[in-house]
């Protein structure tokens, strides 16, 4: 019995390595998705705010990179406004097609907040004739750094923390690293199909 347990320690990782990836949790698209947005890398449109470089890798359930998938990213500006909804324009919105490695990179702004939610990013991926949506979140210690700086400081800290947000998931939290005046992060999106 003891020997069987010992062998299981070695066999279990091998069995898990047979091409099965854990799917990224799907979350609501929300009411502010717009299909007609520009295909572009830089979503800032000259707006003030702290730069955020986000690299995303899209893969299927067998861990294979998906080339040619449409990845939409949208979020609020530094003052908590969504373009095309409560402010004119298409700032902080855009899409790209994944390359042969399944990757896209966006340069945008650290988002602001609005009263009912913790700060977040929206993502929608179209691949294989299907759509997948989720959201990504920010560590509260980074939020505390960002929201004391202009132009965020005029609104102060978010009214809703991560744990108070009804949609927040810790496994969708970005691991941010400093980059110049802002931050950078990467995230792998594993689609359930």
Both tokens assigned to 154: 């005029």
Backbone angles phi, psi at 184, to 5 degrees: -135, 150
Question: What's the half-sphere exposure (Cβ side, CA atoms, 13 Å) at 189?
Answer: 33
Q: Alpha-carbon distance 111 to 158, whole Å?
A: 11
CA angle 192, 169, 97 (to 5 degrees): 45
Q: Alpha-carbon distance 37 to 43, whole Å?
A: 10
- Can you give 28-58 as a three-state secondary structure string? CCCCCCCCCCCECCECCCCCCCCEEEEEEEE
pLDDT per residue, tens digit, the chain (193 aa), is 444 443 333 333 323 334 579 999 999 999 999 999 999 999 999 999 999 999 999 999 999 999 999 999 999 999 999 999 999 999 999 999 999 999 999 999 999 999 999 999 999 999 999 999 999 999 999 999 999 999 999 999 999 999 999 999 999 999 999 999 999 999 999 999 9
Is the bond preceding residue 182 a cis peptide, omega within 30 degrees? no
Q: In the prediction, which pLDDT does 131 show?
A: 98
Q: Name the nearest CA neighbour of 65 among 25, 100, 105.
A: 100
Q: Name the nearest CA neighbour of 26 among 117, 116, 136.
A: 136
Q: In the prediction, which pLDDT does 19 show?
A: 54
User: How far apart, in Å, do the first and last CA atoms of the chain sit?
Assistant: 38
- Its pTM stands at 0.89
CB of 58 closer than 8 Å to CB of 99: no
Contacts of 42 (CB under 8 A, 6+ apart): 94, 106, 107, 108
3-class SS of residue 102: coil
- Within the chain, how many helices (H) and strands (E) appear? 2, 8
Domains, the chain, in order of start with CATH, read: 21-190 (2.60.130.10)
């Amino acid at each position: 019995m003891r020997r069987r347990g010992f062998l299981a320690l070695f066999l279990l990782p091998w069995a898990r390595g047979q091409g099965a990836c854990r799917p990224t949790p799907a979350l609501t698209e929300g009411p502010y998705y717009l299909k007609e947005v520009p295909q572009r890398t830089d979503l800032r449109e000259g707006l003030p705010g702290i730069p955020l470089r986000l690299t995303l890798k899209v893969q299927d359930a067998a861990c294979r990179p998906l080339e040619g998938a449409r990845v939409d990213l949208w979020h609020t500006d530094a003052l908590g406004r969504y373009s095309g909804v409560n402010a004119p324009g298409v700032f902080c919105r855009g899409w790209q097609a994944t390359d042969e490695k399944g990757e896209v990179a966006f340069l945008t702004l650290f988002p602001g907040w609005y009263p009912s939610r913790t700060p977040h990013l929206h993502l929608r991926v179209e691949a294989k004739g299907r759509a997948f949506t989720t959201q990504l979140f920010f560590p509260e210690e980074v939020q505390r750094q960002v929201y004391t700086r202009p132009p965020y400081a005029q609104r102060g800290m978010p009214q809703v923390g991560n744990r108070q947000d009804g949609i927040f998931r810790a496994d969708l939290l970005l691991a941010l690293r400093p980059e110049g005046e802002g931050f950078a992060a990467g995230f792998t999106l594993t689609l359930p199909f």
